[in-house]
Chain A
């Protein structure tokens, strides 16, 4: 089965609210975790990553939290805007045959209401 999964397939929020997208993973040996945003008709776009030796990383309006104890990853988006509406995928970089290859989770559709 999948080693990376998401708890909520769809998340609806009001503009200006904070959004939290969750992700569970099963491979404790993964070195990096990445969040991607995929807008309709486009390919996934890198948002932020976090190394396994960190528990928090902040970007512009986004924060990723990593809890290795329970193998949980979350993406927090502050002051969510309509332009944040997209599908969000978490991915873990698994070492396969000497190469690190991202394995994508199921995705969460974020819908931002004006």
Chain B
């Protein structure tokens, strides 16, 4: 199984809502990532988890809160978002981050719209 799954595919939320994005992989990968992608732009790294520990936070606002319950799951909790947070949120996984050759496997993304 070389698939990364993400739920939901689409999410519309108000600025006062609390929601969560979910990501799952069963490839035994020990690194998992959250990216934000705006239309016609490259993915921007938000968070990296390595061996279930947060290793990189790219100065992401606290209204985004990641969580890695186990090595197969990655969540992104959303609270008090702004309309400019509307984007495609991509999850990825890789075997690790210690090697320069770390091929990332991406999920299809969650299309988030904040009203």
Contact = CB atoms under 8 A, between A and B. Distances in A.
Interface of A: 30-32, 34, 41-46, 49, 51, 89, 93, 95-107
Interface in B58-112: 90, 92, 97-109
Given A96-B56, A106-B42, A101 B107 contact: no
Contacts of B42: 89, 104-107
A13 B43 CA distance: 25
B101 A49 contact: yes
Q: Is the interface of A mostly helix, strand, loop or mixed?
A: strand
Interface of B: 4, 31, 40-45, 48, 50, 55-56, 90, 92, 97-109
A99 B100 contact: no
Nearest to A93: B100
Contacts of B107: 43
A34 to B, nearest CB: 7
19 contacts: A30-B100, A32-B101, A34-B103, A43-B4, A43-B106, A43-B109, A44-B90, A51-B100, A89-B42, A89-B43, A96-B56, A98-B98, A99-B48, A99-B98, A100-B100, A103-B45, A104-B42, A105-B42, A107-B40
Q: Which 7 A-B pairs have the closest CB atoms?
A: A43-B106, A31-B100, A104-B42, A99-B97, A32-B100, A93-B100, A100-B100
A101 B114 CA distance: 28
Given A32-B100, A95-B100, A101-B97, 16 more contacts: A30-B100, A42-B106, A42-B109, A43-B4, A43-B107, A44-B90, A44-B104, A45-B106, A93-B102, A98-B98, A99-B97, A100-B100, A102-B104, A105-B42, A107-B40, A107-B41
